[in-house]
Amino acid sequence: VQLVESGGGLVQAGGSLRLSCTASGFTFVGTAVGWFRQAPGKEREGVSGISSRDGNSYYSDSVKGRFTISTDSAKTTVYLQMNSLKPEDTAVYYCATEPLPAIGLKSSILKGVGPLSPLNSWGQGTQVTVSS
């Protein structure tokens, strides 16, 4: 049971990246998947999440309107499309899961804070660097 994040890189402000979170050995059925990020010297914060049941998605205020989360039909990969990137988006981005109803994960993301409940299957993270 493993999550693998990919798609990070170096981009100029205003640019775009698409991150992927791929499940190995399981699917996201019955869970919500969330993206979190952690910048140097800062706490981990929730960014976006999606329910595998109905596709309901949610975002922190800091990324709303710029980021879009989605999942593939097989429910093995969750994407985070990041547009209009800003230098303050620079961080290591992680994905994690929580069994539905995933109240803790959703609350973390809506509040833009770190995990409020134990989350499963953290990946190793992917670095996103936005230059000004």
Reported as a single tens digit per residue, the pLDDT across 43-94 is: 999 999 999 999 999 999 999 999 999 999 999 999 999 999 999 999 999 9
Q: Is 104 exposed, middle or buried (0-12, 13-18, 19+ CB in 10 A)?
A: middle
